């Protein structure tokens, strides 16, 4: 069976950083998948048509879901940072994999902190996090909730590792390791 661990949160919550850190230092058997990287592969015409609306981003997310399904090996697991604002794409993910084959993780962050990070990043449209906040964080069906407001990515990764638990990680075929010193990842990319 295929399984996806989907990290969802508003812009600047730390989704990409968490996925990268987790796959490089904790669950090195996993390859990271990022919605922003996938969106960057769209043709300019598709990007122009889809990126300007919530419904368009829902369509991008559904295309990303299909990409995850195709990229996931049989009996494999993928870890992805996702963005599901309207819910249609989230439901699509559940239907593609089966709800019991999706571990759905909310990466929460308080709005004031999201806005502070948005300004510091300099590569996000100011107001993007605010426009996503209520819709992303109003969903109540997450399997795991992690709060990045006052936590480092390392702490969020430890929280994710603990929440997944060794028994679940063994069931889906992961081999978690302790954080490795000096940036060693255990594999080359």
pLDDT (0 to 100) of residue 186: 33
Question: What pLDDT, in 10s, does the model give residues 97-122?
Answer: 999 999 999 999 999 999 999 999 88
Q: Is the dihedral of CA 111, 117, 122, 123 positive or negative?
A: negative
Mean pLDDT of the 154-159 span: 94
The secondary structure of the chain as a DSSP string is: --EEEEEE--TTSSHHHHHHHHHHHT-TTPPEEEHHHHHTTS-HHHHHHHTTSHHHHHHHHHHHHHHHHHHSPTT-EEEEEE--SSSHHHHHHHHHH-GGGEEEEEEE--HHHHHHHHHHH-SS-TTHHHHHHHHHHT----SEEEE-TT--HHHHHHHHHHHH-HHHHHHTT----PPPGGG--SS--
* CATH (one of 2.70.70.10, 3.40.190.10, 3.40.50.720, 3.40.50.300) for 3-183: 3.40.50.300
pLDDT (0 to 100) of residue 51: 87
The CA–CA distances, whole Å, from 96 to 19, 26, 90, 106, 154 equal 21, 27, 10, 20, 31
Question: What pLDDT, in 10s, does the model give residues 2-51?
Answer: 899 999 999 999 999 999 999 998 888 888 999 999 999 999 999 989 98
């Amino acid at each position: 069976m295929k399984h996806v661990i989907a990290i969802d949160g508003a812009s600047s919550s730390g989704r990409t950083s968490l996925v990268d850190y987790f796959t490089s230092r904790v669950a090195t058997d996993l390859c990271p998948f990022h919605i922003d990287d996938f969106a960057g592969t769209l043709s300019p015409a598709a990007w122009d048509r889809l990126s300007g609306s919530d419904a368009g981003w829902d369509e991008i997310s559904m295309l990303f879901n299909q990409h995850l399904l195709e990229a996931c090996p049989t009996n494999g697991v993928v870890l992805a940072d996702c963005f599901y604002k309207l819910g249609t794409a989230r439901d699509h993910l559940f239907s593609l994999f089966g709800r019991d084959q999706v571990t759905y993780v909310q990466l929460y962050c308080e709005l004031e902190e999201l806005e502070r990070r948005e300004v510091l990043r300099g590569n996000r449209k100011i107001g993007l996090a605010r426009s996503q906040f209520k819709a992303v964080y109003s969903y109540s069906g997450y399997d795991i909730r992690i709060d990045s407001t006052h936590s480092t990515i390392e702490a969020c990764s430890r929280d994710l590792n603990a929440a997944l638990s060794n028994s679940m990680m063994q069931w889906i075929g992961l081999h978690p390791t302790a954080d490795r010193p000096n940036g060693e990842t255990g594999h080359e990319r």
